[in-house]
Amino acid sequence: MGRYHAQKLARQSGVELAALVDRDGARAALARELGCAFFADHREILGKVDAAVIAVPTDRHYAIAREFLSHGVHLMIEKPIATTLAEADELIELAEKKRLVLQSGHVERYNRAFRALHARMDRAVFIEAERLAGFKQRGAEVDVVLDLMIHDLDLACTLARSEPAAVSACGFRVLTKEIDIANARIEFGNGCVANLSASRVSQAPVRKLRVFQGALYVSADLQAGKLRYVRQNAGAIEETEETHEGGDALAEQASAFVSAIETGSSVEIDGREGRRALELALTVGRLVRERLSRFE
């Protein structure tokens, strides 16, 4: 992901891409391509940059983010924001104390199809999401809940416009020692219910979302940028379709990060939003492991 973040930021107006940092020396080729410096240790750029994007493996988010924030650097951290709530709380507190932007990298919020869907939903009553991906070693240091489902946990909270009140979950190990397939049911305080499924052992990628509310049903293919609305009109079922192709969610996320720094304004998807998704993901993972321990 670091490669993609660097490419987007290099094209941002008002931004100078100062450096890439990677323990893999082969990444220096990308730095040359983008016309910036290259370092193998993030500590070498402390005091030399205004902002940074952290896209290292999840288990290293906290330690590196804490160093950057302590040195007054604005941050965008790939999801999940950290591995524990205590780590997330410390990062949030540090960013607020130093008045720094701390953005959580929930890029699906910038998906044009999702934004259009969200704008049309007043009070969702049922949400169904399916996120499938082929197995990749990248991200395998965490389970599928923290790797993939966390996207939809964040989207579900956003659509429900309410806090989770009850959670149940199941899941299984397939190719790794961690959870590779998971299903979660979330009941929100306002009565909305979400049913989410995620797998990282699928043969074909799927990013689908279905949302129901009174008199309206919306089906979204977030990968293709397509929406289908179904409603009743004068006793007949009416269907309409929209296409929101051509967007670049990662570039829009980068633009939001830069804008918040330049204007001193709040960023939409801040550390607290990242913490909420993390808390829900950790709850789902815990419930899955408890269930597995009874049957394995």
Do 63 and 83 lie in one domain? The reply is yes
Instruction: Judge whether 82 lies within some domain.
Output: yes
Give the bridge partners for 54, in sequence order: 77
Average pLDDT estimate for 144-157: 96
Nearest residue to 206 (alpha-carbon basis) of 103, 280, 133: 133
Do 85 and 122 lie in one domain? The reply is no
Do 181 and 40 lie in one domain? The reply is no
pLDDT digits (tens, 9 = 90+) for 93-120: 999 999 999 999 999 999 999 999 999 9
Instruction: Judge whether 86 lies within some domain.
Output: yes
Instruction: Judge whether 274 lies within some domain.
Output: no
Grade residue 208 by pLDDT with cuts at 50, 70 and 90. very high
Instruction: Judge whether 89 lies within some domain.
Output: yes
Q: What is the mean pLDDT of the chain?
A: 94
Nearest residue to 280 (alpha-carbon basis) of 177, 191, 182, 174: 182
Q: Provide the CATH number for the domain around residue 78.
A: 3.40.50.720
Q: Is the pLDDT assigned to residue 140 strictly greater than 70?
A: no
Q: Provide the CATH number for the domain around residue 126.
A: 3.30.360.10
The percent of residues above 90 in pLDDT, for the chain, comes to 90
Do 58 and 121 lie in one domain? The reply is no
Give the bridge partners for 102, in sequence order: 75
Do 32 and 53 lie in one domain? The reply is yes
Do 44 and 7 lie in one domain? The reply is yes
Give the three-state DSSP class for 145: helix
Do 30 and 16 lie in one domain? The reply is yes
Contact 216, 119 (CB under 8 A): no
Average pLDDT estimate for 13-28: 94
Number of domains in the chain: 2
Do 223 and 150 lie in one domain? The reply is yes
Give the three-state DSSP class for 61: helix
Do 93 and 126 lie in one domain? The reply is no
pLDDT digits (tens, 9 = 90+) for 232-254: 888 889 999 999 987 899 999 99
**pLDDT for residue 246:** 75
User: Rounded distance, CA 148 to CA 207, Å?
Assistant: 10
**pLDDT for residue 141:** 72
Contact 197, 183 (CB under 8 A): yes
Instruction: Judge whether 101 lies within some domain.
Output: yes
**pLDDT for residue 51:** 98
Give the residue numbers spanning the domain of 94. 2-106+251-269
Do 119 and 17 lie in one domain? The reply is no
Do 261 and 225 lie in one domain? The reply is no
Do 35 and 74 lie in one domain? The reply is yes
Instruction: Judge whether 213 lies within some domain.
Output: yes
